[in-house]
Structure 1
């Protein structure tokens, strides 16, 4: 019997989404393909799956059951932005595709880096931080209950929302943050509002401090959310890993993205213990869709984060090497003066991604 030892390609999902998604997601896939080829890896088999407005038109839902079923068999995927505000009813009032996938797959950690790029006209220079955002509960009502949402109206004139904090959720995002810090500069900052929300964010703060005892090599400090926003503006370069509940983490990561250049540069990955979803932090930008002017950097870097996560999960160095090549190629391309319109350049989406792919090779 002849044994087949040829490495098999990595099967990853490709969900383009809405607006600029069909432009930036394929661009990211091309760059990931180039990076895997450059490191001699087995390559990627892309599994295209319907999602978003196009899926409403073809399947009657923004997130078809066949898409979710296919993703169950995959370890990771690229998800483009969604424009759920423009969906027809009843789809507009339902949980959007991103939130539904995070909830279904228990993607509890939303990891959002913010790093200044030379040539990106950053508001603050020298920033290199990561926000570890708890992704399943907190003060975002769309994903903090088992069924339905945490918002309700007992009368037409009263609207209420529940903010839910649980020990297991805080412990696992805290450990994610401390493990990240050990790989970086060994500093974790806990964000809370324990002076006002004493029981909820107070418990978040206390549990993070308890987890910190298992990481004596990591420096820990903490700030109230309002003070933290000011500290990011004044001295973003001083922070390493920031851990926060859902809403606080979302707000801080958008602020950090703008401080280092724009949300067009802001990548993210959503992970559980089994699945990883690469998703740019920005929206679908329908006003520029189809014009080949969207900045694909956030999606490219999100794809690199997915490769890095897969490499760490499997102990595979080539995936990490491919991710490092993409990060370096994006930085060198911007530094060399090739930039999209939002960064003051003239390169289109395809041209910029092509330049990054050339740099990767």
Structure 2
């Protein structure tokens, strides 16, 4: 019996997380796999019940779990002081979820801007230019005077090496091509170190083709010739921006799956946010959450040599692709299906 944590979250979370679980449960049943879904307090409802968006009860439970599904959180709307540190930051830091894997590919039946896009963006998730991830204590942003704002960017050899290895190992399972993204012509020391370490790691993967691109050129190339790229590895900020671009090129951020992981833990988390403006209206696209859950189950299945979980992930992914190919889609993709209708169609195909 596989135990998977469930953190439903805010906004559209109560719509898309149950959708992902319904699809995963149907696929698990079809494969004869038992899954226990462990629901945990999280987000705004946890503030109401525990005065904390990520209560100790939840963290203690996650300590004993290797995989969980986290819905979006709307921390910008939390009352102070709960808005100071996002729930995602708390969990990423505690479990050292250093790798953020974000695939983007076009699906049949979806009007994609780039019909031939199929890339995996491997984003370093613990440092870079993100103010909530680059200091031991305090924020990486500060203002020495009311008219001057500064931001610290941190790149380390250790973090760059471990994310590079994740990228090259992933490339071996795809088309054996890694593109290292940086801005070493301007940020010579920081992104220059990232580039150099990635190229050093490449020497351990002689079967993988490696090249490099400046981040601004990479954005242009993704639009013009996306099929030339396979795995893209980048520091935190660059990876975040490029993955959103790639998601839209594939059709919609509603399709953009993602996992955050360490060597032992994996968390499914859709790339998009909580979208409180459409919450409760049945408009949310559940695909990203469903595919994120499938990614997490696949990664955990491979790590634990559990072929059943890998098969469950494959069923989920195939059912989503088949449903989209039949022009069944939510409003963000130009369709008329509600969140529930789309989910039911995927479950029916399983």
- Please report the TM-score for the alignment, with normalisation by the length of structure 2: 0.98
Matches of 2:85 and 2:240 in 1, distance apart?
17
Give the drift of 1:105: 0.7
Counterpart of 2:23 in structure 1 is 31
Q: Is the 8 A contact 1:125 1:237 kept in 2?
A: no
Q: Report the 3-state secondary structure (helix = DSSP H, G, I; strand = E; otherwise coil) of the residue aligned with 1:17.
A: coil
Matches of 1:332 and 1:320 in 2, distance apart?
18
Give the drift of 1:100: 1.6
Give the drift of 1:97: 0.6
Q: Does 1:205 align with 2:195?
A: yes
Matches of 1:63 and 1:318 in 2, distance apart?
31
Q: Does 1:82 align with 2:73?
A: yes
Q: Report the 3-state secondary structure (helix = DSSP H, G, I; strand = E; otherwise coil) of the residue aligned with 2:198.
A: helix
User: Mind listing any 5+ residue stretches in structure 1 that lack a counterpart?
Assistant: 1-8
Matches of 2:136 and 2:303 in 1, distance apart?
28
Per-residue Cα deviation, 1:122-160 (whole angstroms, up to 9, x for no partner): 001121110000000011111112222211122222211
The equivalent position to 1:272 in structure 2, one of 232, 246, 262, is 262
Q: Report the 3-state secondary structure (helix = DSSP H, G, I; strand = E; otherwise coil) of the residue aligned with 2:132.
A: helix
Structure 2 counterparts to residues 26-175 of structure 1, below 5 A? 26-41=18-33, 43-92=34-83, 94-175=84-165
Matches of 2:172 and 2:278 in 1, distance apart?
40
Give the drift of 1:343: 1.3
Q: Report the 3-state secondary structure (helix = DSSP H, G, I; strand = E; otherwise coil) of the residue aligned with 1:141.
A: coil
Counterpart of 2:303 in structure 1 is 313
Q: Is the 8 A contact 2:110 2:327 kept in 1?
A: no
Q: Report the 3-state secondary structure (helix = DSSP H, G, I; strand = E; otherwise coil) of the residue aligned with 2:301.
A: helix
Matches of 1:263 and 1:195 in 2, distance apart?
31
Q: Report the 3-state secondary structure (helix = DSSP H, G, I; strand = E; otherwise coil) of the residue aligned with 1:152.
A: strand
Q: Which moved more, 1:150-159 or 1:135-144?
A: 150-159
Matches of 1:316 and 1:51 in 2, distance apart?
28
How many residues end up aligned between the 2 structures? 350
Q: Is the 8 A contact 1:295 1:349 kept in 2?
A: yes
Counterpart of 1:243 in structure 2 is 233
Counterpart of 2:168 in structure 1 is 178
Counterpart of 1:4 in structure 2 is none
Give the drift of 1:309: 0.5
Q: Where does structure 1 differ by over 4 angstroms across 4 or more consecutive aligned residues?
A: none
Matches of 2:141 and 2:332 in 1, distance apart?
36
